[in-house]
Amino acid sequence: MATRVATSSNQLNKLGVGKLSELPKDGKYGDFGGQYVPEILIPALKQLEAAYESIKTDFEFQRELKVLREEYGGRPTPLYFAKRLTEYAGSAQIYLKREDLVHGGAHKFNNVIGQALLAKRMGKQRIIAETGAGQHGVATAMVGAMLGIPVEVYMGSTDIERQKMNVYRMKLLGAQVHPVIAGSATLKDAINEALRDWATNVQTTYYLIGSVVGPHPYPMIVRDFQRVIGDEIMGQTLRRDRKLPDLLVACVGGGSNALGTFYPFVNESSVHFLGAEAAGAASLGKGSVGVLHGAKTQVLQDEWGQISETHSISAGLDYAAVGPEHSLYKKLGRGEYISVNDEEAFEGFRMLSQLEGIIPALESAHAVYAGVQRARKMRKDQLIVITLSGRGDKDLETALRYEQARGTV
Ligand SMILES: *Cc1c(COP(=O)(O)O)cnc(C)c1O
């Protein structure tokens, strides 16, 4: 497999980046990242960064996080050898990292539990979040209930209409859901409302962002809470095969499950990273440099900088930007990113269901498809880990409608 990895320190110095594992530097990942927010939020971001630095080495905090990850979240998750999927692909050995088995059915818990504990440590009395399809809102509501912190979620009214079950789930979990009617009444409008709320109530309120996006220090905080995925993979593959994987595969929406998978391996240049974006929301594949959600990164936009409408069969990948650290990995060639369209993702969805008895989230199905395609070009003695970011129960209605429209069911 060809790797184009610019990780020798010489090359990185020439690019002015520094060691990848030590980023961000001054809140930036090369040219990407930063804090493109109204002045009024800068002190809040500084306070957040200071609080985060203090818990990194705080024994009590880390112990509480570990206990909740294990006893409430169900970690560590298994690394499963997918024998029939491997036989089907016919070459490299395919393992699945089972984030679908985490409480709530996806990796999102890894991040929300960390940030909610941080909010508690900072003495915040309420947590706000924005949500598109509702998955992040539900995960936040879940830990809010468990820790006894009130949660309020901003959601576009178009999305509320499309995602009734998740709205009900959030309410059932005790969260308040605020409809946003501005603009196209979807995720980007909900983000603006959440930022407005935060600016007004910054003393009492913690803003809990759901992926490796937003202004510094959020991309770093979310990455660090998600790196448990990659840390576990490293231990599990070393114990089992006495070597590191040759290829890591994950789907990329904002990029948190992918970065959590990749980041612990960033200095291991023999480990190739493959990110699967939705073809209709491929910010890395088709975007250009811009600012969204407070950070400079790859954005899908028109020539006037207006954010493009995106489309994907999987709501979690339907986002017009991507985390700044992925933009840097892509620019340096440290990560490879490919587009997977709805039809291919659906093939991955059926394949995993029928060969392994595991119904993946439609987001994760993009990674399954990409991983199987790539396995065919690799050797039998090579090792692939595909991160299964979530389970597919939430997607059954979408999948059924898709099949009915095609006449395949
Ligand atoms: C939210 C979600 C994603 C996309 O988010 P990332 O930040 O890119 O990981 C992927 N898979 C599932 C199951 C999700 O719920």
User: What pLDDT is recorded for position 13?
Assistant: 61
> Best of 257, 369, 398 to mutate for ligand 1, by most ligand atoms within 8 A of CB?
257
Gyration radius of the chain's alpha carbons: 20
The Cβ of residue 51 has, within 10 Å, a number of other Cβ atoms equal to 18
Q: Which atom of ligand 1 is nearest to the CA of 260?
A: 9
Distance in Å, CA 113 to ligand 1 centroid: 16
Is 403 in the active site? no
Per-residue pLDDT tens over the stretch 70-98? 999 999 999 999 999 999 999 999 999 99
pLDDT of residue 183: 85
Cα–Cα dist 62/50, whole Å: 16
Residue with more model confidence, 13 or 201: 201
What is the share, in percent, of the chain residues with pLDDT greater than 90?
A: 87
b/e code 54-81 from CB counts within 10 Å (16+ = b): ebeeeeebeebbeebbeebbebbbebbe
pLDDT of residue 8: 57
* 182 band by pLDDT with thresholds 50, 70 and 90: confident
363 lines ligand 1 (CB under 6 A): yes
pLDDT at residue 94, as a whole number: 98
For residue 118, what pLDDT is reported? 98
SS3 at position 135: helix
* Location of structure tokens 């199905």: 365
User: Can you tell me whether residue 306 is helix, strand or coil?
Assistant: coil
Per-chain mean pLDDT for the chain: 94
Q: Is there a catalytic annotation at residue 394?
A: no
Edge-to-edge strand ranges of the sheet holding 32-33: 28-29, 32-33, 295-299, 288-292
Q: In the predicted model, is pLDDT for residue 12 greater than 90?
A: no
pLDDT category at 368 given cuts 50, 70, 90 is very high
Strand-strand pairing, 79-81 and 93-98 = antiparallel
* Nearest one of 116, 81, 119 to 98, comparing CA atoms: 81
Per-residue pLDDT band for 7 (boundaries 50, 70, 90) equals low
Please indicate whether residue 251, judged by its CB atom, sits closer than 6 Å to ligand 1: yes
Under a CB-based contact definition with an 8 Å cutoff, are residues 255 and 323 in contact?
yes
pLDDT in tens, 208-246: 999 999 999 999 999 999 999 999 999 999 999 999 999
Hey, what are 251's tokens? 């789907």
Distance CA 179, CA 209 (A): 18
Q: How confident is the model at residue 9 (pLDDT cuts 50, 70, 90)?
A: low
The tokens describing 4, both together, are 């184009």
Residue 53 has pLDDT above 90, yes or no: yes
| Average pLDDT over every residue of 251-270 | 98
Residue 361 CB less than 6 A away from ligand 1: yes
Q: Give pLDDT, residue 162.
A: 82
Q: Is the CB of 390 under 6 A from ligand 1?
A: yes
Question: What is residue 185's predicted lDDT score, i.e. its pLDDT?
Answer: 84
Q: Which atom of ligand 1 is nearest to the CA of 211?
A: 7
| Model confidence band, residue 198 (pLDDT cutoffs 50, 70, 90) | very high
Please report the pLDDT score of residue 5 as a whole number.
Answer: 52
Average pLDDT over residues 249-261: 98
In terms of C-beta density within 10 A (0-12 exposed, 13-18 middle, 19 or more buried), how is residue 162 classed?
A: middle
- Residues 6+ positions from 328 with CB-CB distance below 8 Å: 17, 20, 23, 29, 30, 31, 32, 334
Q: How far is the CA of 364 from the centre of ligand 1 (A)?
A: 8
Mutate to test the pocket of ligand 1, among 142, 211, 391 (most ligand atoms within 8 A of CB): 211
Question: Which atom of ligand 1 is closest in space to residue 363's alpha carbon?
Answer: 11
Average pLDDT over every residue of 273-278: 98
What pLDDT does 3 receive? 43
Confidence of residue 309 (pLDDT cuts 50, 70, 90): confident
Q: Is 321 left (phi over 0), alpha (psi -120 to 50) or beta?
A: beta
Q: Tell me the one-letter amino acid at 301.
A: Q
Residue 17 banded pLDDT, cuts 50, 70, 90: confident
192 versus 367: the higher-pLDDT residue is 367
The reported pLDDT for the residue numbered 223 is 98
pLDDT attached to residue 234: 98
Cα–Cα distance for residue pair 290/136, rounded to 1 Å: 24
Instruction: Count Cβ atoms within 10 A of the Cβ of residue 88 and give its class: 0-12 exposed, 13-18 middle, 19 or more buried.
Output: middle
Query: Catalytic annotation on 25?
Result: no
**Residue 2 scores a pLDDT above 50:** no
Nearest to 296 by CA among 28, 66, 4: 28
Atom of ligand 1 nearest to the CA of 256: 7
Query: What is this structure's pTM?
Result: 0.96
